[in-house]
Chain A
Amino acid sequence: MSKVDINIDGINISVEEGTTILEATKELNIDIPTLCYHPDQTIKGSCRVCVVDIENQVNLSAACCTPVWAGIKIRTNTKKAREARKLVLDLILADHNQECLSCVRNGNCELQDLCMELNIRDTKIEKINHKLPIDDSNPSIVRDESKCIKCGRCITACHDVQGVGAIYNVDRGSHMRISTPPGKKLNEIPCVYCGQCINVCPVGAIYENNDIQKVWNALDDESKHVVVQIAPAIRVSLGEEFGEEPGSIVTGKIVSFFNRVGFDKVFDTNFTADLTIIEEGHEFLHRLNNGGKLPMFTSCSPGWVRYVEYFYPELLENVSSCKSPQQMFGALVKSYYAQKNNIDPKDIVVVSIMPCTAKKAEAVREEMNDSGYQDVDIVLTTRELGQMIKESRIMIKELPEEEFDNPLGISTGAAAIFGATGGVMEAALRTVYEVVTGEELSNIDFVSLRGIDGCKEATVKVGDLDVNVAVANGLENARKILDMVKEGKADYHFIEIMCCPGGCIGGGGQPILGTNEIKEKRIKAIYDIDSMSKLRKSHENPVVKALYEEFLKEPLGEKSHKLLHTHYSPKS
């Protein structure tokens, strides 16, 4: 690429040909306001908040989508540009439900920030009164169209990143809305509840169904024994809600918080992640040795499970029958743990903290009650946990680090990496290799499966067999692999699919705005936890071993089948 000489606000600078004005101004530390622009998405150029003045041009140009050319003279701070940006913002505001104080995004809203930054004080444009219904038809996602500013980021996330297409532009002109097919709510269409739309929404038009009050109620109810589990991805991202650097590890402080507010036990989903590896690893070997359906797909991502149920029902038999770690945990608490501690499972409330909105819907799936009680009672996202901590007024940053309770709080590094794309596969390979060969795996780091690339693959020699594995994250990437499998063009044995880009650390319940740059920092923290762990293979987890001895007896055994495995059904 050749360089071109340009001039921005009187300063000469040389940039790569094809650079947009937005990128070029960043090099000079000028922060052009944006709204529809998202660093990880295709450029839309639709909000027009980023307009700049170009010498000898009558009209303004949108910085996000205009590439520079040799000799261009850009003025970012002219009266014309400033006033246009303000008026554009004013036009957006007139159509926006401004109940900011009670908005879920109060304090973390790009529109609010822009109004502050662009010095919006009095608005000129007459407000339009909104009477649009709120869609809270499902356990996971709420849409409030009155807040929508029509930037289209959610559509990109839903169609281009996830290949789901639940929402789209409806109508045109000033009536244009972003909507599900008219007359249908999210629970009536193939929405997988991944929440990627939430993560990219600049305002409060889409958010998770808030369950915080249910948790407070459970804690306030003395007759209840309330236990909590936290997913692998929470500990590397919650800090962001409190201004910590992305990738800060705050595990001990979270445990400390739970103890303070009165949870009876603080456990770790990582424990059942280890257990999942044992069950899923054996299931894989069973399929391999007994002519079972291959390739086998992982099943811990509920958005992915919904997706395959809707879009690839013909591949349902390929999906591992293992419940997700969240659900295995709930089932075990209400059976093994309840028995062991002599607690009536009806009095137990299982709360889980997940990076995921789809987990809320997974928890209420009809089949998830094998102990006789619903496995998991309440699911909070990372963001909701952040909100709950703020509401408690406990200054989490100042809390001491505390340890998870025994026994369901013990885990290995293999469980930790469930939170990142490729992690489940890596954890499974560490165990499968040693189970099959009986030898110790010399290098347990499967580096080729790590990182946020959409599709990854590897071949691992396990005994006499070359095991071909693949990893996909983001459903549009998954689709590529699924189509290959469907057409018989793939020779994989085992495939990990995570619904969300980057895996669970990029889940729909994670702190906003989780850009790829931030996701990579979360992933690094996940692998740091793994490498710092004493035990790094799931089959070495002593509590998992004890669980089999005391209760489950053997992987894929009768009890396991009842409590830890499930089934799926096609959705039309």
Chain B
Amino acid sequence: MVNLLSKLCGKISPLSIKEYKESGGFEGLEKAIFKMSPKEVIDEVKNSNLRGRGGAAFPTALKWNFVAMENSEDKFVICNADEGEPGTFKDKVLLDGCPFQVIEGMIIAAYAVGANKGYIYIRGEYPKSKEILISGVKILQEEGYLGNKILGKDFSFDIEIRSGAGAYVCGEETALIESIEGNPGRSRFKPPYPPNKGLWGKPTLVNNVETLANIPVILSIGSEEYKKYGTESSTGTKLLSVSGRVVNKGVYEIEFGTTLKEVVYDICEGMEEGKKIKFVQLGGSSGACLPESLLDTKLDFDELRKLEIGLGSGAVLVVDDSICVVDFVKNATKFFDHESCGKCTPCREGNKHIIKILDNLTNGEGTERDLKLLNEIAMVMKQASLCGLGQAAPTALLTTLKYFEDEYKNHIKYNCPAGTCSLKEGVAINV
């Protein structure tokens, strides 16, 4: 565990600008706007190798540069605080623990890309975080960190808080933009990408909360110092949200390069008493399910790519062997069926049919043909869906079909090894 990004969370009073400044707050911003040109700021972020923490791991400076290069009167910076990926609660820790750090990151981003207006899109399920943000923005407006001529410089930027209303898909940047525009959050096809044509058709930078929280750190300690954290390919630290059957659940900051085994057994002190690990789902409901044999995998973008998986939001759900894989995947697929925006065919229709087939399996009516069809539907969703939601929705299914194929096959033979799905007599589960 390290203490770089989250060092102030829980240490200072979240809305005390005095405490924030005494702890080094706004050093990054002041350095940026008094001593650096926007281009130099982007170069500094580029040199840090920071990659987006929302899930896609896109190089942050590259995104910033796309927006900076656009010639437009209006540009927007949006903080994506629609933390909806199940099992993820690390953005809430930052927003509640140190909102000024996130906003400082936004202001620096705005300075770098030439934006004059910002939005924080906070999920509706976090009403308290929203109140903190509203107060935080107000304080910063009063203190001259937001509004016209920030800190006396010829740079103006203000922030509006917008609330989500219960839609996972709005974590996808174009769906989020649609939502801010007052529409249902249905993803747009890309390109055009938001940096070129985003909110109201204007160049728009959308960054995740955690990504933005990294910015003041990089600026204040410098990118060279920052790069000392993590690995060569994955610099810095990552907030993990650990849940499931481990002893210590919670949000932990780790350096890239830490293994899942270290997370589960060292940081979280292992499994709860009497529980045996079955798999770890990495990156939330849209993430891969990794069997125990892969726990030595390092949390590092390149290492994970070799396994064709992603770190996603950094959620780590530790699942024990009392859970039936088929039933687990069915539950995850119900989530996607509920959260799909309904726009594109594979996602709208695919989830529903996967659930039907998994129902067959847990009812003892599954066939070999069902397994083949499951794979085909999952693949068409992954390959042909319009946005990341549909593309990632079948990840749990595909990875469990890969690593737990026997358990699916067992269900065809009327046998649930875990004994917890509806195949098992006496355990009536109807959800």
Contacts and interface: CB of A to CB of B under 8 A. Distances in A.
A-B interaction: yes
A169 interface: yes
A172 interface: yes
Interface string A25-56: 00000000000000000010111110100000
A43 B189 CA distance: 9
A319 B159 CA distance: 47
Nearest to A58: B383
A126 interface: yes
| Interface bin, chain B | 20 to 34
B338 A173 contact: yes
Interface string B310-348: 000000000000000000000000000111111111101
Contacts of A45: 189, 344, 386
Interface stretch (A87-95, A362-370, A530-538): A87-95
A92 B350 CA distance: 10
The main secondary structure of chain B at its interface with chain A is helix
A64 B380 CA distance: 18
Interface string B184-196: 1010010100000
A191 B386 CA distance: 31
A88 B383 CA distance: 11
Contact of B349 (A59, A91, A172): A91
A173 B345 contact: no
Interface in A225-280: none
B41 to A, nearest CB: 29
Interface string B390-431: 010000000000000000000000000000000000000000
Given A124-B376, A176-B348, A59 B383 contact: yes
B369 to A, nearest CB: 8
Contacts of A94: 349, 353
A538 B295 CA distance: 87
Interface in B329-387: 337-346, 348-353, 356, 373, 376-377, 379-380, 382-386
A47 B349 contact: no
A186 interface: no
Contacts of A87: 376-377, 380
A432 interface: no
A36 to B, nearest CB: 9
A401 to B, nearest CB: 48
B189 A91 contact: no
A125 B382 CA distance: 17
B309 to A, nearest CB: 13
A173 B342 contact: yes
Interface residues of A, number: 36
A95 B345 CA distance: 10
A129 interface: no
A324 B380 CA distance: 53
Contacts of A308: none
Contacts of B349: 91-92, 94-95, 125, 174
Interface string B228-242: 000000000000000
A51 B384 contact: yes
A4 interface: no
Contacts of A59: 382-384, 391
Nearest to A47: B345
A489 interface: no
A88 B385 CA distance: 10
Nearest to B387: A45
A47 to B, nearest CB: 5
A125 B372 CA distance: 12
Contact of A88 (B184, B345, B382): B345
B189 to A, nearest CB: 4
Interface string B165-187: 00100000000000000001010
B342 A91 contact: no
B384 A48 contact: yes
5 contacts: A66-B191, A87-B380, A88-B346, A174-B348, A174-B349
Interface of B: 167, 184, 186, 189, 191, 337-346, 348-353, 356, 373, 376-377, 379-380, 382-386, 391
Interface of A: 43, 45-49, 51, 58-60, 62, 65-67, 80, 83-84, 87-88, 91-92, 94-95, 124-126, 128, 150, 152, 169, 171-176
